[in-house]
């Protein structure tokens, strides 16, 4: 216990130099700006900044990316409240009550609620990172190939089921991502799969160009297709959060924090699902349901707390299993790998100081976010008014640089364009993007562990179902797929009801 | 108390459902993709002579291909069950304020920059031309006074040059990142 505290102290000490504080401030501010601007998402921000931080020492680089991530998820609520357009997909839920509040002349109060909810949400999630990560990492150390195979399949299935769309389309997107991950040289015989003789394709599809395409280029195209946004207010009332709002809704804050963190831990779901789930739970439990959708303070608080608690939550599986909890966390994980940090069960053994540093980074980024949330209201309002006709080409230029810079391959620019097009079309067809990106991330984990497990069991699939943890993961995965079939869902519900009725009659 | 209508369970509250015919076409495309994957995997060597069949290069992608085929059939039959074959052949209602012309113009400009300009011109110049062209074309209004048009074009030119200059300065000089 004392050792852990001293490690936390040392980690905080790492970031107390003037240079580190300046880095935190500019990175968080940049993150808030990225989040606030419609068309720029947290995933794109983290992916692009991975390029910029390529030459930095790893601690400083990850600090920048964590600040961007935390800032961007919070920044999205600014445009949600003032423009009725979510700056990031995570903030879509905040438009429901944030924009009506702004129209009532309470834009400042709405931003204050957003700031306090977001700050407390991230703090709650960070506390969970500090307490749950060591426990989960310990558990993950007992996993073998069979379990890791199911973790990968479970990630795809759960992301497809819950990522806020059609579950079937989520599965398709996930398996498409898993297949794309197999393009290039395979690990056992260096055979070039699906390369058709092109050396660039034989090198495989890079995660960062794909992320920049799916979340950057696709956003540029969508933003240019959509109607232009107009701010609802040029001036705002006080943005200082009211203590009364926080105290009155403390149950909502705790509930949303827990839901947000839990959704974050589940692979690939992300902040938008966390916000909608927290909002739905708050509405169900609320005494003032009729205010929801018309400017409910509780509704806005729940959405903001949920999405911000999801940020640290999404980092937990990265640190313990090398499985990202959200799309921005996938970009963050890619950055860790680029900087020779190996996320996964061995992280707590090989580089335990990095875990404590991540916790410190999250706390410092959260404090910095609070500072900017309370002070920089007017500059953020001006930034929101930049016309997209001038902003989007700049975003595309940055996307091109971001895709190219990691490996200096022009091919990666074409990968970005391809994924931009695929991302745009699939989104128009209501396919969620998160499972596809998760598939791309988990492809290698799935393949290496499936082949290893089959070699170990000499081709028998029994251990995939008979080993205790493997069996549980298999059961949850299969149940999730079955549950997504409406007929099966109705049959299970009917069966449960019948069983309960029979027990009640018997009793 | 009036309640807001709840969306179908498979969609987020802010999303609108697509006509089932779109899903049928999507299923057909995915079926073709899955079949192509399976066929390509079948062509791959198994390296059985080296003693291990479970490490064959085509095994895992073939598994993905089979699952994609099964899921696409599920999507296709579901779309048929929802009336994809009998639904009127109308396009989905266009959303208010959304413009396909703007979409195609943006896509064309982005493609021209990424494929036509990058690598052929110094990056700062390519970026400046792209940003200038993009802003000018999208801000073009037929009835605009020449003075206002010149002002907008000047702003676009300054934005373009600033973008090119700042990107080169920040990425190449400060953070030592290579540019295309």
Is B103 in Cβ contact with A221 (below 8 Å)? yes
- Please write down the long-range contacts of B24-31, taking CB distance under 8 Å and 24 or more positions apart: B24/B76, B24/B79, B24/B80, B24/B84, B24/B85, B26/A429, B26/B75, B27/B72, B27/B73, B27/B75, B27/B76, B27/B79, B28/B72, B28/B76, B30/A172, B30/A176, B30/B68, B30/B71, B30/B72, B30/B75, B31/B69, B31/B72, B31/B73, B31/B76
Q: Do B105 and A224 touch (CB under 8 A)?
A: yes
Determine whether the interchain pair B12/A193 forms a contact, defined as Cβ–Cβ distance below 8 Å.
no
pLDDT at residue A403 is higher than 90: no
The residue from B93, B122, B144 where one domain ends is B93
DSSP element (H, E) containing B178: none
Query: What is the helix, strand, coil percentage profile of chain B, to 5?
Result: 65, 0, 35
**Chain segment A272-296, per-residue pLDDT in tens:** 889 988 998 998 888 888 888 888 9
Chain B residues inside the 8 Å CB shell of A446? 60
The answer on B146 and B82 residing in a single domain is: no
Q: What is the mean pLDDT of residues A464-486?
A: 90
Measured between CB atoms, which of A172, A293, A459 is closest to B72? Answer: A172
pLDDT at A129 over 80: yes
Percent over 70 (pLDDT), chain A? 97
Residue A58 domain boundaries: 2-141+204-408
Q: Does residue A356 lie within any of the structural domains? A: yes
Q: How many domains does chain B have?
A: 2
Are B36 and B7 contained in the same domain? yes
State ipTM.
0.88
Q: What percent of chain B has pLDDT over 90?
A: 56
User: For residues A66-78, b (16+ Cβ closer than 10 Å) or e, as one string?
Assistant: bbbbbbbbbbbbb
Tell me if B179 is assigned to some domain: no
More confident residue, A491 or A383: A491
Per-residue pLDDT at A380 exceeds 50: yes
B113 touches chain A (CB under 8 A): yes
Q: pLDDT digit string (tens) for A153-187?
A: 998 988 888 766 688 999 999 999 999 999 999 88
Interchain proximity A430–B100, CB inside 8 Å: no
Q: Which of B97, B99, B179 sits opposite A401 (nearest CB)?
A: B179
Does residue A146 sit within a domain? no
Q: Decide if A431 is inside a domain.
A: no
User: Which residue range(s) make up the domain with B88?
Assistant: 1-93
CA A149 to chain centre: 22
Structural domains counted in chain A: 1
Q: How would residue B146 be classed by pLDDT, with cut points 50, 70 and 90?
A: confident
pLDDT over 90, % of chain A:
42
The answer to whether residue B180 is domain-embedded is no
User: Are B3 and B69 in the same domain?
Assistant: yes
Please tell me whether residues B8 and B89 are part of one structural domain: yes
Residue A38 per-residue DSSP state: T
Q: Which residues in chain A are contacts of B23 at CB distance < 8 A?
A: 429
In a domain, B150, yes or no: yes
pLDDT given at position A41: 84
pLDDT per residue over B157-169, tens digit each?
999 999 999 988 8
B76 shares a domain with B109: no
Last residue within a domain, chosen from B93, B117, B142: B93
How far, in Å, CA of A394 to CA of B121, rounded?
A: 17
Please check whether residues B141 and B124 belong to one and the same domain: yes
The closest of B123, B51, B47, B109 to A187, measured between CA atoms, is B47
Give the residue-averaged pLDDT of A200-210: 89
Residue B154 resides in a domain:
yes
In this structure, the answer to whether residues B135 and B57 fall within a common structural domain is no
What mean pLDDT is predicted for residues B45-61? 87
Instruction: For residue A328, tell me if it sits in a domain.
Output: yes
End position of a domain, from candidates B33, B63, B93: B93
Give whole-number Cα distances, B125 to A141, A483, B85, B131, B133, in Å.
52, 55, 52, 10, 12
Residues B86 and B25 in one domain: yes
Indicate whether B115 belongs to any domain: yes
How far apart are alpha carbons A250 and A384 in whole angstroms? 31
């Amino acid at each position: 216990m004392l050792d852990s505290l001293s490690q936390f102290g040392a980690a905080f000490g790492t970031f107390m130099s003037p240079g580190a504080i300046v880095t935190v401030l500019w990175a968080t501010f940049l993150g808030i700006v990225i989040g606030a601007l419609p068309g720029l998402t947290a995933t794109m921000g983290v992916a692009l900044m991975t390029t910029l931080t390529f030459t930095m020492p790893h601690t400083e680089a990850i600090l920048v990316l964590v600040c961007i991530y935390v800032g961007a998820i919070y920044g999205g609520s600014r445009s949600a409240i003032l423009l009725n357009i979510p700056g990031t997909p995570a903030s879509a839920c905040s438009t429901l009550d944030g924009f009506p509040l702004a129209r009532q002349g309470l834009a400042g109060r709405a931003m204050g609620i957003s700031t306090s909810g977001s700050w407390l949400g991230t703090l709650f999630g960070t506390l969970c990172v500090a307490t749950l990560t060591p426990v989960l990492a310990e558990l993950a150390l007992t996993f073998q190939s069979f379990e890791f195979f199911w973790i990968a399949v479970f990630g795809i299935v759960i992301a497809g089921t819950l990522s806020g769309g059609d579950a079937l389309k989520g599965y398709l997107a996930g398996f498409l991502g898993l297949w794309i991950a197999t393009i290039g040289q395979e690990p056992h015989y260096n055979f070039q799969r699906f390369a058709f003789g092109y050396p660039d394709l034989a090198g495989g599809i890079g995660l960062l160009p794909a992320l920049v395409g799916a979340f950057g280029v696709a956003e540029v195209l969508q933003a240019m297709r959509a109607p232009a946004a107009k701010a609802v207010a040029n001036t705002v009332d006080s943005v200082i959060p009211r203590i009364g709002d926080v105290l009155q809704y403390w149950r909502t804050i705790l509930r949303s924090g827990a839901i947000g963190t839990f959704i974050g831990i589940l692979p690939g779901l992300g902040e938008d699902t966390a916000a909608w789930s927290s909002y739905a739970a708050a509405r169900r439990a609320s005494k003032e349901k009729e205010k929801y959708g018309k400017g409910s303070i509780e509704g806005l608080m729940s959405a903001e707390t949920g999405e911000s608690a999801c940020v640290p939550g999404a980092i937990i599986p990265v640190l313990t299993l090398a499985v990202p909890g959200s799309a921005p966390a996938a970009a963050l994980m890619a950055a860790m790998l680029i900087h020779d940090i190996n996320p996964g069960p061995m992280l707590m053994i090989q580089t335990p100081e990095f875990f404590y540093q991540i916790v410190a980074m999250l706390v410092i980024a959260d404090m910095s976010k609070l500072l900017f949330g309370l002070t920089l209201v007017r500059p953020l309002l001006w930034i929101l008014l930049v016309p997209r006709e001038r902003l989007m080409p700049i975003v595309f230029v940055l996307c091109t640089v971001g895709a190219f810079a990691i490996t200096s391959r022009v091919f990666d620019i074409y990968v970005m364009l391809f994924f931009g097009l695929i991302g745009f079309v699939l989104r128009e067809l209501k396919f969620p993007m998160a499972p596809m990106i998760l598939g791309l991330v988990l492809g290698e984990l799935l393949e290496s562990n499936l082949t290893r497990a089959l070699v170990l069991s000499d081709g028998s699939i029994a251990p995939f179902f008979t080993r205790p943890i493997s069996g549980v993961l298999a059961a949850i995965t299969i149940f999730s797929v079955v549950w997504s079939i409406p007929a099966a869902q109705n049959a299970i519900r009917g069966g449960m009801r019948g069983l309960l009725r029979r027990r009640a009659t018997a009793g | 108390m009036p309640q807001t209508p709840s969306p179908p369970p498979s969609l987020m509250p802010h999303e609108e459902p697509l006509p089932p015919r779109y899903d049928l076409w999507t299923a057909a495309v995915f079926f073709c993709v899955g079949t192509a994957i399976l066929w390509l995997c079948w062509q791959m060597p198994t390296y059985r002579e080296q003693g291990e069949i479970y490490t064959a290069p085509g095994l895992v992608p073939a598994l993905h291909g089979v699952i994609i085929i099964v899921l696409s059939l599920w999507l296709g039959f579901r779309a048929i069950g929802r009336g994809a074959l009998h639904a009127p052949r109308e396009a989905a209602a266009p959303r208010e304020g959304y413009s396909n012309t703007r979409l195609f113009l943006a896509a064309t400009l982005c493609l021209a920059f990424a494929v036509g300009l990058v690598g052929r011109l110094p990056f700062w110049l390519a970026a400046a031309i792209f940003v200038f062209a993009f802003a000018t074309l999208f801000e073009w209004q037929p009835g605009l006074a020449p003075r206002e048009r010149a002002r907008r074009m000047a702003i676009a030119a300054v934005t373009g040059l600033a973008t090119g200059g700042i990107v080169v300065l920040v990425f190449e000089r400060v953070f030592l990142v290579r540019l295309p």
